[in-house]
Amino acid sequence: MSEQIVYILYSKKFKKNYTGVTTDLISRFKSHNELASKGWTKAYRPWMVIYIEVFNSKKEALKKE
């Protein structure tokens, strides 16, 4: 099973945080900042990663999230 990453993004411009879980942080970050055409995070771009924690299971990661 792939490692699960809990991450927190921060939008300095709007003073907003977003917390998520992924197995591929780079692709997910690019989606939040560039690719997504809809969704909550699109409205608060640009984002920066301010926290990362790696877990061995999705269950553990979702509990932390």
CA gap 23, 31 in Å, rounded: 13
Per-residue pLDDT reduced to its tens digit, 12-27: 999 999 999 999 999 9
3-state secondary structure of 1: coil
| β-bridge partners, 55 | 4
**pTM to 2 decimal places:** 0.92
| β-bridge partners, 5 | 22, 54
3-state secondary structure of 22: strand
Is residue 2 very low, low, confident or very high in pLDDT (cuts 50, 70, 90)? confident
